[in-house]
Amino acid sequence: MITQGVQVTSTCAACAGVLVRDVGQFIERGEVRWGVEGRCQECPAGWCETGTGPAPQEVRQALLAEHGAARLRLAGTRGSLVPVLRALREINGLSLGEARLAAADLSGEGLIGTLVEMTLLAQGLERRSVTTTLVTSPD
């Protein structure tokens, strides 16, 4: 299972104490899921929030800042783009035009996102016999 998380601290709005938030992303049942659990170290304030699909920017930015970005590219010989377009549309919910732009990026510089997001896309492409390379970097 691919999972990525980070602990972020900030000021508690209720008491001005230290608020600790555990944020993360993971793949479950073929979907990207995200979660945030927060708790104050000074008062009883706390919560838990989860979701499926694109993570809130706060979660993505914390993960990218801590772990760096992952870059996914097409590898091997260039064949038909039909399986690539299908995977992009199915996994990322893109229109045909958006999928074509993303496929062009995959063929060139690559798509960039969190490790979890790019791993899910790589798995979807692999199911369609499309070979990819996934590289992480501290960018």
Same domain for 126 and 76: yes
Q: Among 66, 90, 117, give the residue marking a domain's end.
A: 66
Domain count, the chain: 2
Summary mean pLDDT of the chain = 92
* pTM confidence score: 0.87
The Cα-based distances of 123 to 1, 3, 13, 19, 88 in angstroms read 12, 14, 40, 36, 11
- At 88, list the tokens: 């992009």
Instruction: State the Cα–Cα distance between residues 106 and 5, nearest whole angstrom.
Output: 26
pLDDT in tens, 45-90: 999 999 998 899 999 999 999 999 999 999 976 678 899 999 999 9
pLDDT tens per residue across span 122-133: 999 999 989 999
Instruction: Specify whether 73 is located in the same domain as 129.
Output: yes
Angle between helices 115-127 and 82-92 (to 10 degrees): 130
Tokens of 60: 């993505």
- Give the domain range for residue 49: 3-66
61 and 77 fall within a common domain:
no
Q: Any residues with CB less than 8 A from the CB of 56 and at least 6 apart, and which?
A: 34, 36
pLDDT at residue 138, rounded to an integer = 58
- According to the model, what pLDDT value does residue 77 have? 61
